[in-house]
Amino acid sequence: MRPGASPLSLKVTLMLQTLPRRAVVALLALSVFFPIGLVLYQSILSGPFFMPSTTLSLESFAFIFDDPDFWQALKNTLAVAIGMSLIAIPLGAILAFIMVRTDLPGRRWLEVPIMIPIFVSPVVLGFGYVVSLGPVGFFSVWFESLFGSVPWNIYSLTAIIIIAGLTHVPHVYLYSSSALRNLGSDVEEAARLSGASPFRVARDVSIPMVSPALLYVGVLVFFLGFEIFGLPLILGDPEGHLVLTTYLYKLTNKLGTPSYHLMAAVATCIIAVTFPLVLLQRALLKSAQRFVSMKGKSARQRPLALGIWKWLALALILGWLFVTVVTPVAGIALRSVVSSWGQGINLLEVLTLDHFHAVFEEQTMIRSIINSILIGTLGGALAVGGYLAIGLATHRQPDGLSRFVDYIVLTPRAVPGLMAGLAVFWVFLFVPFLAPLRSTLFSVWFAYAVVWLAYGMRLIQSALMQVGPELEEAGRLVGASRARVSRDITVPLIRNGLLGAWLLIFMIFEREYSTGVYLLSPGTEVIGAQIVSLWASGAVDVVAALSLINMALVGIGLAIALRFGVKLHD
């Protein structure tokens, strides 16, 4: 177009140029709001929304509010959310302080193991605890033979809270360690010279100074407490401890008929709590970042000498790693190669590879493994591609549309995977032209991509932010359109970031279990959902083998990521 052309043709050109951007945003909004809208709509109907006799009604809420199980589940959920915050936050903060600010020997080697609980599927972890610390678990049996009895009960609500707390320590560690990295060491040295021991320094100076980050992570952990599903599903079942997510899951069988309206009502109740929490997190994160940036970068960091305290610090970390990582993982590894286990059984007599044979003989199991690999590799790449498209649509364009996208991206964060999977299931069940895709892997991929939207967008956006604005402006000046600049300059420059995002999404997709639960059907099996379904049928042997395979897949992703120097967090 020549400069000085008429304003009308200019506007037409402008509209054509922004068309892909609008299309991306429209598709995104539809993908997010339609399933969630369907859940909200379903919750105020008297029956499943596809039944002709269904009317608008609040009877679903009346039903669940009348159900004592619902109130018990709510009470348990609150106990879990509060209890695990009380455990995870102090432990995570101390762990971060030790790892970031002290001269603890072997810090570099501990960095990766600390992150493992984030990448292991909670349902796998829960299973690992059952086979290690359950009534006939390896560790329990061994302990009993030494001391005569076992003082713990893995199926109690207290145990669930403690395990949930311990497995969420890495989340706290992530955010508080990055805040601590931004803190100058002079303030700590001053406290040390005034006579404070290293742990007093942590308690009185360092940790209070990162309190905005801790407040943020406190809300995050409390919020995750509302979402947890795998642990209470496996550990809470024997004694009937329900939380809201497992209550929702059990509703399926409660009435016999599809009780969609009741499930939607429970889901709506959960969203009513989680959505405000997500908004609160967003506000807190902004203020925490402001707090950190005020500190500036000039402050040098020198590790605090722990002296004799280092053995206590090391014992604390190794103890936590033993309970949180070694115990369940070793339990699963062992359980997958023994035929049975209990009091007085000789390990060498029961060693077997039968469980793996069983897995590889059954068509559904093989399919679930292949599907899991496909969804992690191909699906992960597609998801990163989609996130990239959204990222580029809003990159350095601070306008209303970009702010709108910000909020769309945030929304699925408030919907636990189990419910997101359910919503997507409904969408694929009842939108006529989508129905044929329901029993394909596409439906699972779509649900995964929506559930992990916020996480993926954070990866993409932090990569995009690394590109100097003047590199893109230089492209515009020499005659490249926005789209051309994205293709020729921005995207090639963030290649490494995209590779890292793909690897992280791969691990997250392998780990995912709850989102696939309602989408499980012949052809769409993935390992995580398969474990949930097999657990209900009591097939412990196969669950053990599948769990090990699942951890191996995540482990391969982790090894490649570390090989390429991908940062596991930002």
Site of interaction with other proteins (CB under 8 A): 1, 3-4, 7, 10, 14, 468, 470-471, 473-481, 484, 488-489, 492-493
Nearer to other proteins, 20 or 90 (CB): 20
- State the minimum distance, in angstroms, from the CB of residue 484 to other proteins: 7
Alpha carbon distance 462, 568 (integer Å): 13
- State the minimum distance, in angstroms, from the CB of residue 472 to other proteins: 9
Whole-Å CA distances, 532 to 131, 237, 431, 474, 538: 16, 12, 27, 53, 10
Whole-Å CA distances, 28 to 21, 53, 163, 388: 11, 32, 36, 12
- State the minimum distance, in angstroms, from the CB of residue 18 to other proteins: 11
Whole-Å CA distances, 199 to 78, 187, 211, 304, 316: 31, 14, 16, 11, 13
* Whether 79 contacts 467, CB under 8 Å: no
- State the minimum distance, in angstroms, from the CB of residue 468 to other proteins: 7
Q: Which residues contact 310 (CB under 8 A, 6 or more apart)?
A: 102, 103, 104, 105
Nearer to other proteins, 22 or 357 (CB): 22
Nearer to other proteins, 7 or 538 (CB): 7
- State the minimum distance, in angstroms, from the CB of residue 215 to other proteins: 29
Nearer to other proteins, 11 or 254 (CB): 11
Nearer to other proteins, 2 or 297 (CB): 2
Q: What angle do CA 480, 486, 489 make, to 5 degrees?
A: 80
Q: What angle do CA 254, 260, 261 make, to 5 degrees?
A: 105
Alpha carbon distance 109, 106 (integer Å): 5
Nearer to other proteins, 13 or 57 (CB): 13
Helix (H) or strand (E) holding 55, with range, is none
* Whether 236 contacts 130, CB under 8 Å: no
Q: Looking at 77-213, which runs of residues are DSSP E strands?
A: none
- State the minimum distance, in angstroms, from the CB of residue 10 to other proteins: 7
Nearer to other proteins, 471 or 552 (CB): 471
Nearer to other proteins, 290 or 476 (CB): 476
* Whether 416 contacts 270, CB under 8 Å: yes
- State the minimum distance, in angstroms, from the CB of residue 492 to other proteins: 5
- State the minimum distance, in angstroms, from the CB of residue 481 to other proteins: 5
- State the minimum distance, in angstroms, from the CB of residue 291 to other proteins: 23
Helix (H) or strand (E) holding 194, with range, is none
Q: What angle do CA 508, 511, 516 make, to 5 degrees?
A: 100
How many other C-beta atoms can be found within 10 angstroms of the C-beta atom of residue 286? 12
Q: Is 558 helix (H, G, I), strand (E, B) or coil?
A: helix
Nearer to other proteins, 75 or 476 (CB): 476
- State the minimum distance, in angstroms, from the CB of residue 495 to other proteins: 8
Nearer to other proteins, 126 or 475 (CB): 475
Nearer to other proteins, 255 or 483 (CB): 483
Nearer to other proteins, 256 or 398 (CB): 398
The C-alpha R_g of the chain, in whole angstroms, comes to 25
- State the minimum distance, in angstroms, from the CB of residue 1 to other proteins: 6
* Whether 217 contacts 171, CB under 8 Å: yes
| 3-state SS record for 8-49 | HHHHHHHHHHHHHHHHHHHHHHHHHHHHHHHHHHHHCECCCC
Choose among 23, 12, 14, 11: nearest CA to 393. Answer: 23
Supply the DSSP symbol for 346: -
Supply the DSSP symbol for 303: P
Nearer to other proteins, 256 or 479 (CB): 479
- State the minimum distance, in angstroms, from the CB of residue 383 to other proteins: 24
Buried b (16+ CB within 10 A) or exposed e, 412-451: bbbbbbbbbbbbbbbbbeeeeeeeeebeebbbbbbbbbbb
Q: Which residues pair with 102 in a beta bridge?
A: 304
- State the minimum distance, in angstroms, from the CB of residue 12 to other proteins: 13
